[in-house]
Amino acid sequence: MTYLVMKELQKGRLSIGFFPKFYFHRFWRLTPPYMLVLMTYVPLYKYIGDGPVWPQGGVEKDECEDTWWTNLLYVNNLVKTDEMCMGWSWYLANDMQFYVISPLIFLPLFYFGYAGLMVPGAMIVGCFISAGVISSENNLDPNIDIRNSQGNDYFDVYYIKPYNRIGPYLVGMITGYLLYRTDCKARLNKKVVAMCWVLACVVSLAVVYGLYEHTKGDHLSSDVAALYNSLHRTGWAMAVAWLIFACANGYGGIINNILSWPALVPLSRLTYTAYLVHPLIIYFFLFSERRFFYLDNNNIIFAFLGTLAMSYMVAYVASMAYESPFLGLEKPLLKGVGKCFRRATGTFPPPAGTPTGRPGAPRRDSPAAVHYNHAKGQVSDYQPRVTPSHPANVIKVSM
């Protein structure tokens, strides 16, 4: 997001119409499929299966009668968290909240350069402190354990809160800014590249396997657990950020070849709807069981691969039905909103006697005027052109 926004800001001055479109695009991109999946899943899911443990009254409490609005407003990670509808949707609330405050980060980066890194840097430090203090005060484990009551505390007071999770998002924004500043042409010493790859591997492996002894019963102390809870997500994000930066600048090698495989492109278009529907596949598999599920490597592998395949199959249907139609409506809606906005604000006063170069087009004569680019869906600077075939005081508009 940061990389693309920087490119747009580079094209011209920041206009008053930038932020309405910036926020509308995100809301329109996420909300229709999200709400339609919720609307379909909550009342109908109880009818699609059966079994001794099948939830006859539905999965969600009271069919989300009192909590659906928290999902619509993206505050379900802060309000009524004990009754959350679509329990996995807490992430969307975090993501939307981070997006809302993102201009406070990318605008200083754009206008003040590397000095603007102080803003996300300070926020990352604040995230470290918040996560560590909350973990220490509540004596939380370094991972969630649903077998005891502390698992609920871990989820409600730590796991889903935006101030404990913004660190990785900020690392991603900083990475996007660095890609913008280097134009994906950074030249690094081979030793530096090798050292960064080693460091990224060490950090990522430490995050994943650092709790091995803890899960085997040798529990970490409260202070060490707090340190892990404050650092591990941002550390993982830094490792992934290096992978992205290295691949974008030609230091990815075979990893870049794998991640750039064209066959992955169609699947990448389905990741959002796959995220929305994959718990429904897991619920169906578990609730329709007629016998106990034995946890061993073979069962887990087959269950994972089956869930993955089914999730993307259902995600394709959901994308075609719930996502693609609304994506197609975005540009016409923005076009209409842009016209209404220009008329309401008087951005384009129609001067008399100015030829426009096309029949029926609105007239404009100010070199500083701004026009709405319908093809690209963005605001750009309008530059009139004087042609030799016309008198010097007559402006011919090319659009």
Amino acid residing at 299: N
What's the pLDDT tens digit per position in 201-249? Answer: 999 999 999 999 888 888 889 999 999 999 999 999 999 999 999 999 9
For the ranges 102-106, 151-155, 233-237, which has the lowest average pLDDT?
Answer: 151-155
- The predicted structure's pLDDT at residue 391: 35
Listed by start position, the domains of the chain span: 2-257, 348-399
- The predicted structure's pLDDT at residue 346: 63
Q: What is the Cα 176 distance to its own chain's centre? A: 13
Token couple for 149: 């009551």
Residues 6+ apart with CB under 8 A from 62: 83
Q: What is the DSSP string of 138-191?
A: TT--SS--TTSTHHHHIIIIIIT-HHHHHHHHHHHHHHHHHHHHHTT-----HH
Q: Contact 183/3 with Cβ under 8 angstroms? A: no
- The predicted structure's pLDDT at residue 377: 43
User: Looking at the predicted structure, is the pLDDT value of residue 366 above 80?
Assistant: no
Rg (C-alpha) for the chain, rounded Å, is 26
- The predicted structure's pLDDT at residue 379: 41
Separation between Cα atoms, residue 240 and residue 272, nearest integer Å = 19
Separation between Cα atoms, residue 283 and residue 298, nearest integer Å = 20
Token couple for 9: 């800001």
Where residue 342 falls among pLDDT bands split at 50, 70, 90? Answer: low
Whats the size of the chain, residue-wise? Answer: 399
Assign 3-state DSSP to the chain and report helix, strand, coil percentages, each to 5: 65, 5, 30
> What percent of the chain shows pLDDT beyond 70?
83
Amino acid residing at 287: F
Residues 6+ apart with CB under 8 A from 111: none
Amino acid residing at 359: P
What's the pLDDT tens digit per position in 37-57? Answer: 999 999 999 999 998 999 988
Confidence (pTM): 0.81
- The predicted structure's pLDDT at residue 11: 84
Q: Contact 220/210 with Cβ under 8 angstroms? A: no
